[in-house]
């Protein structure tokens, strides 16, 4: 009995770095794609000596393709460098040549280096060097037809903190999700910095690569972190997906414990690459949330997915009635950052807690008492009023900034960590070496409200003016104009209404926990009629700080009246949050 040999799939399955492997849409010329497709098909069917001969043909064609790709790259880089040099050599109306800016000089050096690298790679290939992994080389015939029909995967989930600068330079050149990672509107509202590239999960770059490898009309399906849909640093990939794709399915698996035993927060995204960038009718979207062993799914219009209409806006995976309740609360208030209270401040950052954070017993007599201040971390904050803190911080500042000179005991204590303190990232050569960073939240000239950055619901406490307590950077702080404002804001943050609203927007974590970061709470709506909110909520919070904790129903009723909304309007959101 004659048995048909199994096909040779080793030239269809390749191992390589997908992020460094380029894409099919770099405008390089692919030589003889039909011959490559034919050679691949012959190799798949070949056996014996014919298999060896077909492999040689395919190797030769792939090498020719790689060399042609490098030729195109060298021409492109040389042209870009020639244009820059030409612009510098041209004279203005007064016959003067412009002096190159530092950015131009850096770009010229970069282009020269890239040309040398490409020419060196080309010489190596001409002399039989190993073929580097490249999609347009190993799959040139696929690229000639526009890309793959389907791209599926479970890419690595990691932030690029420990990746070398060469890889980061590659990411900056090739990936919009890296260059333009932030949801800029949200970052601006919270006065957040622009250094979001270091926070981008590599899964976002793989997702962008998957889009570039799919043909127009092709599909992608990836298992990626759920935080991509809500984090500030996910703005770039969200914008990229909505621009180039129709999202067809979105599954939140954060609470799907029966599928994932590890402490991960996964999601599944399925999308179809648009056939053009013109306004096409949006495909229907199916959203689903997996909770335990149950799955809740619903149809969703893509226009109702984003928080707002700004590029890169967070995605809210909420059923229509829950989203309507979310928007009802939002419409009844103004963002905290735009209110008279203003944006939240991150707690202080030491960069070396071992040096500064102490327990009273261990430094008794070893550090001057007037340098010790009470300290709270996010995990030690409770609702309404701070308990006696278990730790203290060696406070090396006064109202003007870092102390000009440390007293002797503190100098002796901190000197043990001097080398570490001088090498802190935030230090950047700033003197003195004992300084603490982001100290604005510790200013106690007015009442403050503090809350933990992590929990199942916000936990807010009031600190009266002159309270010396310092909040570490696992906390956020809002300075208030007076104590009544502070009580009112604390009541809002501790209320079930705002907890449900924030949990719909905040980055998720396992077990129903969320991250109440500065940008998230900066977007939290506070009642438009603030004087009315003060009258309704401040007395409740003031009594709560004395131990008369209001019942959940009483706080809910007072908060709803402060926002001027009815419970029936927000009930779907409250039920969704309690599921």
In a domain, 80, yes or no: yes
Predicted local distance difference test score (pLDDT) of residue 27: 46
Looking at the fold, whether 64 and 158 belong to one and the same domain comes out as: no
Does pLDDT of 107 surpass 70? yes
Looking at the fold, whether 380 and 301 belong to one and the same domain comes out as: no
CB-based contact 496:574 (threshold 8 Å): yes
Looking at the fold, whether 139 and 171 belong to one and the same domain comes out as: no
In a domain, 52, yes or no: yes
CB-based contact 233:243 (threshold 8 Å): no
What mean pLDDT is predicted for residues 244-249?
Answer: 93
Residue 184 binned pLDDT confidence (cut-offs 50, 70, 90): confident
Looking at the fold, whether 355 and 302 belong to one and the same domain comes out as: no
Which residues are 384's β-sheet partners?
461
Look at residues 554, 546, 555, 548 and name the one whose alpha carbon lies nearest to residue 385: 546
For residue range 61-88, what is the model confidence (pLDDT) as tens digits?
888 888 888 888 899 889 988 888 888 7
Looking at the fold, whether 164 and 271 belong to one and the same domain comes out as: yes
Looking at the fold, whether 258 and 192 belong to one and the same domain comes out as: yes
Does pLDDT of 391 surpass 80? yes
In a domain, 331, yes or no: no
In a domain, 254, yes or no: yes
Enumerate residues 6+ apart whose C-beta is below 8 A from 248.
219, 270, 271, 272, 283, 284, 285, 286
Structural domain that includes position 133: 1-90+99-146
In a domain, 81, yes or no: yes
In a domain, 220, yes or no: yes
CATH number, position 234: 3.40.50.150
What mean pLDDT is predicted for residues 199-221?
Answer: 92
Cα gap 427→425, rounded to integer Å: 5
In a domain, 322, yes or no: no
- Listed in order, strand segments (DSSP E) in 416-496 are 448-452, 454-455, 460-463, 470-471, 475-479
Cα gap 550→67, rounded to integer Å: 74
**Helices and strands counted in the chain (H then E):** 21, 21
Cα gap 101→88, rounded to integer Å: 10
Looking at the fold, whether 362 and 418 belong to one and the same domain comes out as: yes
Looking at the fold, whether 137 and 162 belong to one and the same domain comes out as: no
Predicted local distance difference test score (pLDDT) of residue 133: 85
Cα gap 493→336, rounded to integer Å: 11
Looking at the fold, whether 116 and 180 belong to one and the same domain comes out as: no
Looking at the fold, whether 499 and 392 belong to one and the same domain comes out as: yes
In a domain, 334, yes or no: no
- Say whether 360 sits in a helix, a strand or coil: helix
Looking at the fold, whether 527 and 415 belong to one and the same domain comes out as: yes
For residue range 36-65, what is the model confidence (pLDDT) as tens digits?
778 888 888 888 888 888 888 888 888 888
Looking at the fold, whether 52 and 199 belong to one and the same domain comes out as: no
Give the residue from 112, 146, 180 where a domain finishes: 146
**Which of residues 113 and 541 earns the better pLDDT score?**
541
CB-based contact 469:423 (threshold 8 Å): no
Query: Based on the structure, what is the number of domains in the chain?
Result: 3
For residue range 253-311, what is the model confidence (pLDDT) as tens digits?
888 765 555 556 889 999 999 987 666 666 789 999 987 778 899 998 888 899 998 98
DSSP state of 446: S
Give the residue from 299, 317, 335 where a domain finishes: 317
End-to-end CA distance of the chain: 62
């Amino acid at each position: 009995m004659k048995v048909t040999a199994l096909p040779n799939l080793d030239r269809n399955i390749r191992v390589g770095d997908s992020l460094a492997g380029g894409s099919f849409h770099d405008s390089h010329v692919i030589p003889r794609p039909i011959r490559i497709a034919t050679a691949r098909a012959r190799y798949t069917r070949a056996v014996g000596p014919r298999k060896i001969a077909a492999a040689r043909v395919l190797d030769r064609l792939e090498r020719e393709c790689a060399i042609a790709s490098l030729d195109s790259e060298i021409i492109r880089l040389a042209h870009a460098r020639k244009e820059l040099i030409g612009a510098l050599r041209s004279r203005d109306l007064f016959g003067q040549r412009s002096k190159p800016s530092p950015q131009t000089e850096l770009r010229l050096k970069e282009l020269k280096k890239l040309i040398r690298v490409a020419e060196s790679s080309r010489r190596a290939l001409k002399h039989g060097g190993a073929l580097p992994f490249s999609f347009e080389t190993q799959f040139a015939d696929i690229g000639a037809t526009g890309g793959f029909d389907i791209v599926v995967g479970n890419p690595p989930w990691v932030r690029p903190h420990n990746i070398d600068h060469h890889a980061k330079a590659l990411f900056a050149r090739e990936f919009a999700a890296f260059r333009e990672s932030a949801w800029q509107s949200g970052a601006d509202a919270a006065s957040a910095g622009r250094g979001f590239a270091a926070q981008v999960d590599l899964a976002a770059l793989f997702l962008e690569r998957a889009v570039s490898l799919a043909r127009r009309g092709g599909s992608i399906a990836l298992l990626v972190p759920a935080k991509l849909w809500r984090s500030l640093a996910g703005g770039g990939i969200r914008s990229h997906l909505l621009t180039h794709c129709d999202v067809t399915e979105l599954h939140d698996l954060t609470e799907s414990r029966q599928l994932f035993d590890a402490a991960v927060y996964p999601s599944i995204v399925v999308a179809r690459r648009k056939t053009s960038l013109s306004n096409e009718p949006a495909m229907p979207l199916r959203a689903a949330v997996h909770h335990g062993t149950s799955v809740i799914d619903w149809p969703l219009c893509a226009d109702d997915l984003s928080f707002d209409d700004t590029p890169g806006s967070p995605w809210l995976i909420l059923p229509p009635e829950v989203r309507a309740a979310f928007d009802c609360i939002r419409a009844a208030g103004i963002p905290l950052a735009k209110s008279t209270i203003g944006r939240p401040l991150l707690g202080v950052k030491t960069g070396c807690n071992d040096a500064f954070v102490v327990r009273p017993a261990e430094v008794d007599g070893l550090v001057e008492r007037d340098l010790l201040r009470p300290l709270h971390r996010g995990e030690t904050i409770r609702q309404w009023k701070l308990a006696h803190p278990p730790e203290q911080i060696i406070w090396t500042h006064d109202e003007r900034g870092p102390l000009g000179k440390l007293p002797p005991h503190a100098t002796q204590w901190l000197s043990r960590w001097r080398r570490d303190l001088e090498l802190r990232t935030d230090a950047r050569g700033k003197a003195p070496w004992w300084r603490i960073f982001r100290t604005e939240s510790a200013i106690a000239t007015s009442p403050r409200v503090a809350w933990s950055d992590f929990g199942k619901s916000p936990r807010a406490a009031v600190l009266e003016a002159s309270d010396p307590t310092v909040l570490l950077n696992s906390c956020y702080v809002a300075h208030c104009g007076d104590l009544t404002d502070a009580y009112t804001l604390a009541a809002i943050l501790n209320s079930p209404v705002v907890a449900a609203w924030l949990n719909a927007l905040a980055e998720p974590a396992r077990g129903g926990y969320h991250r109440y970061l500065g940008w998230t709470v900066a977007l939290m709506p506070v009642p438009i009629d603030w004087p009315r909110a003060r009258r309704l909520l401040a007395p409740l919070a003031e009594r709560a700080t004395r131990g008369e904790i209001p019942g959940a129903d009483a706080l809910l009723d007072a908060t709803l009246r402060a926002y001027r909304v009815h419970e029936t309007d927000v009930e779907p959101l409250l039920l969704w949050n309690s599921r």
